Structure 1
Amino acid sequence: MAGRPRNAVVLTEDERATLLTWTRSRTCAQARALRARIVLACEEEPTNSDVARRLGISRDMVAKWRARFVAERLAGLDEQPRAGRPPTADDDTVAHALLRTLTPPPPGVRKTWSSRSMAAETGLSQSTVNRIWRTYRIRPGARATAGPREAWSLPEHTEDVVGLFIAPPVCVLAVTARAGRTAVATGAGRLFGHDLEAPHVLAVACAFAALRGDGQRSGTLGTDAPGSGDLGAFLRQVRSTAGPGAAVHLLAHGIPAPAPAVPRTRWHHTPGPAEWADETRRLLAADAQAAADAAPDPHRLRDALLTWSTTWTRSAAPFTRVAGPRPAYDIPANCGRDDDSNARDGRALADATGIPHDGPPGAPDTTDPVVGLLRDAVLAGGHRPGDRVRETPLAAGLGLSRRVVRAGLQTLAEEGMLDLLPGGATAVPSLTAKDVLDLYALRASLGALLIRRVAMLGPDRLAPASAALAEVRAAARARDYVGIREVDLRFQDALARIADLPQAAVTFERLTARLRMFVALLDMDYSQAFETITNEDTAVYDALQDADGNEAARLWRVKIERCVRYMIAQLPEDDVAPHLWTTLAGRPRLRPGESRDGGH
């Protein structure tokens, strides 16, 4: 008959709080959580038999952990080294066994590896192979299966896998999700296609990162941490690839807190590589029913990872994969409550809420990164007014299909940068004095309206304009006469977005796109205008800081008059219409010391 135990358990408040935390934690090992429950029950129950009956375990187990806790307190609940021969599989052996699963089995063996065939191949025991595979959730040949969703895991309604980054010990999978989606879209999407091996390959990748990254962890991901600079570049690239309206979710293992902060992204930290592998299987379960031949090369991820990992050293570059940009015509419509179609890539919403957006303030927006490439290519293409923009040379130069180029040129025509011809072709706009006057007349009036609106909102909203003005000043200091043309326009577009008048801001930015083309066609020389541009933009900004909308609008009109006079002066002599601008638009009132001439 069991008597009262000799070792009574009396807990301090701190010990009780720690034990309760272990029993409630989602990330605590089950063995540790059970030991915590045993000790807590020992405080309440008089005998080991009562504790064993209450928890459904043996009396010997209760006696063991009661005695160890009384002797060593909380430290006694840690796993103790076991007697006997130490494990024979070191990290190098485990890594070899993991990577071997990425290669085909030898002839005469079934299509996928079994623990028996892997044991014969590596010289390990079958039980050791099984233990390695269980530890890291390695399942050669197994299909992805949907499992329960944990608190830290990815959202149910993901859309695409758009990036993979491995730099031991860091492992990051980037997926996108859009507001208002009601079903799981293609999980692997543009990055993996319908590669049925992807879940297995990703599990091996994370296991390899955990093994090779052992001892490299630090308290924070500083500039000297493994792959820290590359991770920042990867995150920016993924954010750009995701496109507007898409939230980026990052499933991560091996990143110590705090993780790098990136606008419109959310980190999901897994407790270990096994949980990371389970989550990727849950994510890719929707693709498991797709045909294996749906991807053009179902083994490319496996082969690329195998090549990288077998040659990996601590100084090696990270393994990265980022999906290609999605064409504009393939981007799903945003219908959720978080969609802000008037915000133009979310920037107006970001400015209004104080959350920074990607890219320089006032930089040209686009719903498709391809359009940005086309915009730059057309501006640098040496076209003359009226020239037709040829799709074939652009497609060859950028490595894109003609269909994608055609869709991008249509977008540029909708923005106002190109003229749309019959049949869907596009051309560089013509350039006459009337075209310049037409453009600047709209820009002067609309800009004045937007600037008055910015003044009404107060100086607290001027952060994007301040950042853009800093770029103007930097270009002036560097005497960058090409760059200052662009950053001056960015400053103006930043003001338009701050105004929180979405339709007016979109129209203003389309005028900016056309103005960029005019400036490129005339190859305008701004080498003598650094001081003028900086002073003009600073004066407008200072007036807005003082919430003086009338003065800011007047300074805007002074700036526009100087701009239009300078641009008309670059046109051929027979296109010049002297005094036409002042006849139509009038002359803004000048303050003492101001001049109508300014080389800009």
Structure 2
Amino acid sequence: MAKPATPFVLTPSDHATLQDWTQQESLAKRLGPRARILLTLADGFTPKEVCDQLHISPPVVFKWRKRFLEAGLEGLNDRPRSGQPRKLSSQKVKEILTLTTQRVPREATHWSVRLMAKYAAVTAWQVRQAWAASDFKPHHCKTLKISNDPHFADKLVDVVGLYLKPPDNAIVLSINEHTPVQPRDRTQSKLPFPANVYTAFDTLTCQAIGQLTQRRRTQALLAFFQHIDSAVSPELNLHVILDNSSAHKTPAIKQWLEQHSRFKLYVAPTSASWLNAVEDWLAQLERRAQYQGVFSSVAELKASIRQLLEVDNVLSAKPSHWIQTPEPLFSSVHKAVGDRQ
């Protein structure tokens, strides 16, 4: 006659812990199944019935029951594997950090995990650990180009002033040209006739007016000003922020502006495109309309950009408010200058 199985009993504390493990998704692949085995045994089921209910083999049931009886809840954790894991010496960590900060790889403009692992003769995992410990992210660019514009301060105050307190009965538009936008079929290296995208970004509503053109810069900018003039209510004045290009200084543009007095231009400082609010929108344009797109013609590319403009204005544009005063921006620039010196 077979000896009756010894009842499997859990203390209330262990039962509560095991029950909690079965409900935690992060533990589902490791401790969760082991906890279910013990909880089912504690409910009075035999090992064979546990196997049938949980669809596991008898050795698995006996293994985790034995481990629990020997070491309690700690026995359910994985035991250390044989062999000692590779460790990074302080000298090797120093070598990785020195390479990261003082050298550039021959194969690229910056370090990647695989390149550093190759140069330092370590594993990719060890490179990640060394970089994470020092908060190094070589693929992230944290540089700031310092403007040498002699009128930087005045221009900064003017532009930020428009953002902080837009004039009454007026619209503040941030304008820039994204050029050239190249249609590309991934089976071909290049297609002819790149298109330029002019965008006027309403800094208050975050809606955009766009126009695609293949004309020369002065002609294209003049045509875009005319497009804005017809698209915006004639009752509103237009305060326009431009980058520091020469297109708006041509005689044709100057003459047109004299005839349309509601346009008032503000030029962003040299090497300070970060101050022009439309730049972020143009970056989104590149990510959302071009990076994954396949365009066999300029017409297809233009249709994609026009669709993005229409959809973005309806679904994504939300009113925004600039809150940064000029003083902290001056401090950041002065600090950057001091760090370089």
- TM-score normalised by length of structure 2: 0.38
Structure with bigger strand share is: 2
Q: Work out which structure has the larger RCO, using CA pairs closer than 8 Å and 6 or more positions apart in sequence.
A: 2
